[in-house]
């Protein structure tokens, strides 16, 4: 079973800035704990600050992986292109947000990614990524 976590812009700063919103753990450290917790799945991690690179990665693995866990950062709220990419691939996508975007600024309340995604996990901190992996492990999902 192949699952990839794709993180978008600024998520490389996790653990370094704004710990009151995003926590104090770096994603690299959290990813190590996910690998230890889920040793029997093929887990990959990709982060980019560039919309085109996120699109290329989704196209590259979107017909061969069993699940994509996508936190597209602020592109969530702006990118019709990412929404179109999710709709175009076969691999189911779970949209994850660390913070509860609905109790933040109104521009974070809309997502171009939610409708074409299989589901959404919001506001549960880094735990959301773990729950998304668990979902893919547990389900015989269809898109
Ligand atoms: O809550 C989330 O996971 C977000 O996707 C994070 C994005 C934000 O634009 C979305 O509205 C919600 C921002 C990621 C920025 O991450 C940082 C982490 C540490 C320090 C500064 C930024």
DSSP codes, 46-67 = EE-S-HHHHHHHHHHHTTT-SE
**Euclidean distance between the first and final Cα of the chain, in Å?**
16
Average pLDDT over residues 108-116: 98
- Pocket probe for ligand 1: among 26, 28, 78, 97, the residue whose CB has the most ligand atoms within 8 Å is 97
Higher pLDDT, 119 or 17: 119
Domain-located, residue 68: yes
Overall residue count recorded for the chain in this entry: 143
Average pLDDT over residues 54-77: 98
Q: Which domain holds residue 63?
A: 2-138
Residue 95 pairs with which residues in a beta bridge? 70, 120
Q: What percent of the chain has pLDDT over 90?
A: 90
Cβ of residue 11 lying under 6 Å from some atom of ligand 1: yes
Domain-located, residue 31: yes
The answer to whether 31 is a known catalytic residue is no
22, 30, 112, 129: the catalytic one is: 22
Domain-located, residue 118: yes
Per-residue pLDDT at 34 exceeds 60: yes
54: nearest Cα among 76, 32, 35: 76
The answer to whether 22 is a known catalytic residue is yes
Domain-located, residue 24: yes
Residue 69 pairs with which residues in a beta bridge? 5, 94
Ligand 1: centre distance to CA 79 (Å): 15
Which pLDDT score is estimated for 127?
97
- The enclosing domain of 105 has a CATH number of 3.40.50.9100
How far apart are the C-alpha atoms of 84 and 93, rounded to whole Å? 12
Residue 119 pairs with which residues in a beta bridge? 94
Domain-located, residue 143: no
Domain-located, residue 12: yes
Count of the separate structural domains present in the chain: 1
């Amino acid at each position: 079973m192949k699952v990839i976590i794709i993180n978008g812009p600024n998520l490389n700063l996790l653990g370094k800035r704004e710990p009151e919103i995003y926590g104090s753990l770096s994603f690299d450290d959290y990813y190590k704990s996910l690998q230890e917790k889920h040793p029997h799945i093929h887990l990959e991690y990709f982060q980019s600050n560039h919309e085109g690179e996120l699109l290329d990665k989704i196209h590259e693995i979107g017909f061969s992986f069993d699940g994509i866990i996508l936190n597209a950062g602020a592109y969530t709220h702006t990118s019709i292109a990412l929404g179109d990419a999710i709709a175009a691939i076969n691999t189911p996508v779970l949209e994850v947000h660390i913070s509860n975007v609905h109790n933040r600024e109104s521009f974070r309340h809309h997502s171009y990614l939610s409708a074409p995604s299989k589901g959404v996990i919001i506001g549960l901190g880094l735990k959301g990524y773990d729950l998304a992996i668990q979902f893919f492990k547990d389900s015989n999902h269809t898109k």
